[in-house]
Every structure is written in C-alpha cells, then in structure tokens.
A and B are shown apart, each in its own frame.
Chain A
C-alpha cells in the first residue's frame, strides 16, 4: 500500500497511507503514513462506529497539510474497542457435532433465515464473488466434500477457481448470518464459532487437509487459500 503512495506522489498527487504493519511502512518509506493498532483487515477501525472511524480518517488526512516530510509516519493512539468480546452475542445456531457434506447442507439451510434477516437489516451482503446464490454454492461445495470433481458452475472459471470463490462466499454467508441485531461480536468470537463449532468450518478444514495430502498440485496450491494461518486445525 505504501508503494502506491510513492507512485501517486511521483505523479503529483498527495497521498497518505493508513498502515497496519508498521515495520512494512518503515521499510517502504511512503511520503506519509498513519500507523493504526487495529487488527489486519480493519484499517479504519471498529465497524458501526462512525465517530471513531471519522477520527481515524481525519487523523490521516490531517497529515496531508502538516510539514515535516518527506517520509512522515505517525501513530494513531487508540485501540479498536471492538476487539473486546461481547458477552451478549450468541451464535445463530447451537454447536453441532455433525460433520460431512449432508451436515453442511443442512446447516446452510438452517442459517438461511438468519442470513436473510441480517441482509435485510444491513441492506447489504458481501456474498457474491462466485456469482452463485448461497444454495448453489452449498451444492457445489458439498460435491467436492463427497469426493466428486464437479464441473465448474461458472462459465469462465476452472472448477478449482470456482471452488475458491464458493468457499469465500460460504464463509461470508455464515458470518453474516451471525451478525445478530444489537450485538457487537469481536472477530475472535465470530472466528471461534465458524472454525470450532460449525460443520462448514470443519468441512473447509477437511478439504484443505485432503487437498494438501493429494497429488493434484493445483488443488494443493488452492488449499492454502481456505483457512487463515492462525485457524488451521492441528493434523
């Protein structure tokens, strides 16, 4: 990101980067960067907190009119309050010990109502990378779980690439279903639920393990994009 600051500034446009990993900003030395102490994926900080977010944005933009450069790296002082768990949050479905393709399909059907409610409340969804509706994503994923090699349901994508985006969509589907009204779950809570308590999370882990143990190099490479490094189940 900081590299883009260099390129834009070379073209005459002032820029300020919001940097999440300070050592990387220090090495790239952008014209201006505001380091923020938030978790990766949250450059502007807590969701649904416009006041806090505006402070972050303004702190960054203010650097555009401050002297002292080139290469100014400042630190945002406050941590993200949403990193704290919310004891009022409850998972959308109780933990299930059921595993396998049928369990995943049943779980997705159960989550559909919570997902629809979440979309209505938020007037949005981030499901859509595959272009398939969630139910069709579930069918395609379940085919792979059963050991099939389904044809790609997406015209210009290989079966493997389609699987990657289908898994991204299913994770988003489940996590958006878990955004219950009034609660402010941390990403840790949501991740614990998805990876430790759902048939979907367990199935993604299984597929990852199976692909890595198999002979298909394309699937081996793909498997690294299923489960976050810090969530990989011990084998």
Chain B
C-alpha cells in the first residue's frame, strides 16, 4: 500500500500500529526453489464454507485443504478496512493457490502443500504463538519447507 495515497491521519494510524518487538532473528535456509514444497499461510481470516467462521479476534486457525474449490473459500476477517472486491472477483488475490499449482506444473517450485492455513490478522500476534507452533508441526508432517505468508 502506498500510504501517501491515504488521508494523512489514516496513514499515520496504519503506520503507527503497535507491532511485536522480537529479539530473535530466525533465518532458515534450504533447497533450491524448484525442490521446495510450498504452503500458503494467510492472516485474512479465511475459512472453508461450512467450517467455523472467525467471530472476532480469535487466536486459533483454520485449515484449508488444497482440494478446496474457490466457491468454498470465505473471508471472515473482522476488519472492514480493506478491499474485498478483489477477493470476490478472484480468490488468487488473497489465496494464490492457482498460481502455486501453475508454478509447480512449470517446475519453478517442487510441489504444493496438501493443506494451507489461515489466522485472523486482527488478533494480537502474541496470542497466535501456540497456533503457529501447531501449524508448523502440521506443515512439517506434510514435508512443507517453504511458506508464503499473505496478509490483507
């Protein structure tokens, strides 16, 4: 987002939002991209139709199988201050599963994870630690070694 396009006070509010101050600097290296198994982890409050919607600033997560159809992915993020038209027209704007599948078919990446995950981005990140660790365990079980994090 080019903040200069927004009203100054609104841009300042976004810019000044409190963020966690991490003291560690983790950095994992790995195989070439064409050998990586990639998952999407989103903070857009995505949920599969029929699964529990995010009702507020929930700290848990939802699983999104790779077999999910675009008609079955909903966005239940609590914030109304971001565009939803893009996602309504094309889910890849938020959840680029079709693009990952194409990249895998082209050999640019190794493969696409069996399951992807979504959190609720309006939640205090500190509360997401347990959920994130759980997701990490599930990603490892799926042999995932690369995660694309998408926010809204």
Contact = CB atoms under 8 A, between A and B. Distances in A.
Nearest to A64: B146
A39 B1 contact: yes
Interface stretch (A25-33, A92-100, A104-112, A133-141): A25-33
Contacts of A62: 33
B118 to A, nearest CB: 10
Interface residues of B, number: 83
Interface string A56-96: 11101110110001110000000100100000000000000
Given A23-B15, A57-B99, A225-B78, A41 B84 contact: yes
Contacts of A132: none
Contacts, number: 253
A153 interface: no
Given A4-B128, A15-B149, A229 B81 contact: yes
Interface string B133-148: 1011101100011111
B89 A18 contact: no
8 shortest interchain CB distances as A-B pairs: A41-B83, A3-B125, A1-B151, A41-B82, A11-B136, A7-B132, A70-B27, A47-B90
Interface of A: 1-24, 27-31, 37-48, 50, 53-54, 56-58, 60-62, 64-65, 69-71, 79, 82, 122-126, 128-129, 161, 165, 168, 171-172, 175-176, 179, 185, 187, 190-191, 225-230
Interface in B38-93: 38, 41, 43, 49, 53, 55, 69-71, 73-76, 78, 80-93
Given A13-B136, A31-B28, A129-B53, A6 B22 contact: yes
A5 B1 contact: no
22 contacts: A16-B147, A16-B148, A16-B149, A20-B151, A22-B3, A31-B28, A37-B1, A38-B1, A41-B83, A41-B85, A41-B93, A43-B150, A44-B94, A50-B99, A53-B96, A56-B96, A123-B70, A124-B70, A175-B84, A179-B88, A179-B89, A225-B78
B28 A14 contact: yes
A164 B98 CA distance: 30
A27 B16 CA distance: 10
B132 A19 contact: no
Interface of B: 1-3, 6-7, 10, 14-17, 19-22, 24-30, 32-33, 36, 38, 41, 43, 49, 53, 55, 69-71, 73-76, 78, 80-94, 96, 98-100, 102-103, 108-109, 119, 121, 125-126, 128-129, 132-133, 135-137, 139-140, 144-152
B150 A1 contact: yes
Contacts of B93: 41-47, 53
B14 to A, nearest CB: 5
Given A29-B22, A48-B89, A50-B99, A19 B136 contact: no
Contacts of A45: 93
Given A4-B41, A64-B36, A126 B84 contact: yes
